Amino acid sequence: MKHFDPHIHMLSRTTDDYQNMANAGVVGLVEPAFWNGQPRTQLGSFIDYFDSLIGWEHFRASQFGIQHYCTIGLNSKESNDLELAEGVMKLLPRYCQKENVVAIGEIGYDDITPAEHKFFLAQLELAKESNLPVLVHTPHRDKVTGTKKTIEAIREVGVAEKMVLIDHLNEQTLPLVLETDCWRGHSIYPNTKMSSERMVALLKEYGLEKMVVNSAADWGISDPLAVPKTAKAMLAAGFTEAEVERVTFENPINFYAQSGRINLADVNRLAIDQTKTYQANSVTRGQQPVVELAASLQD
């Protein structure tokens, strides 16, 4: 079976994670721009970070047979640094033109401050102008209020709801999003957010339409294999392989396909050639490179 992780922060992960994901059937992923844990204080830090998403990390994923896409945006936490946020907003239109950028995101609310609201609306407007989908981060705290305000903001700007994926949902917030035409994202996380077992229960109760699962794996305690593990939990609960692939492969790709830069037919495991370099740098670090021809690949 093939899987696609639509929200994972690989810049925070190791090459072992890429290898393990490939072995578990992950053939593609989307890496959203996010908060790195250490607040950025200079505009150049954002430029270097965005460049790494469209460049180095795109290359690094390919070295393990995985197709890499990304989203670009100003995260809600750093929206509260007004001067810096204004500078980042001027950068974003340039990155929206890059071919492996498939959405604006992840954006939304953290503490639901006036500054967060201002830049959330501005980026929704940018997505509308750029005809790109939107990946929305709902807050870790006061999630119901944050989700309601997210829906209000989307409607205020007039972004088509089918172009929006509202992420980090749970049992309390999913019903709110089900009343919209937005896509429904769930981060499968150790001990918090959403477990595979709880996700299976939600799928049984609400069905598979526009339902998306991801790992949201980053620099914290998280699991880059959360998507294939959820697939196994679905199979164990009686879902068919076709139903599993709909949730763990087709749904997320069909959402991002609205960008015109990704589609189901093109997402497959890549041939691997670790003799390649990116700006003279290699993932092998002097070790024996792996070369795997496309003809030898298996779905």
Domains in the chain: boundaries: 3-294
Sheet bearing 134-137, strands edge to edge:
3-5, 26-32, 67-72, 101-108, 134-137, 164-167, 183-187, 211-214
Superfamily of domain 3-294: Metal-dependent hydrolases (3.20.20.140)
Closest CA to 8 of 135, 161, 175: 135
Q: Output the average pLDDT for the chain.
A: 94
Distance, CA of 119 to CA of 105 (rounded, Å): 12
Per-residue pLDDT at 294: 57
Closest CA to 158 of 201, 194, 200, 129: 129
Which residues, in sequence order, are CB contacts of 157 under 8 Å at separation 6+?
121, 124, 125, 128
What predicted TM-score, i.e. pTM, was given to this entire model? 0.95
Dump pLDDT digits (tens) for 255-295: 999 999 999 999 999 999 999 999 988 998 888 899 987 54
Distance, CA of 200 to CA of 220 (rounded, Å): 24
Distance, CA of 108 to CA of 218 (rounded, Å): 18
Q: What are the φ/ψ torsions at residue 235 (nearest 5 degrees)? A: -60, -45
Dump pLDDT digits (tens) for 207-249: 999 999 999 999 999 999 999 999 999 999 999 999 999 999 9
Per-residue pLDDT at 193: 73
The single-letter code of the amino acid at 168 is H
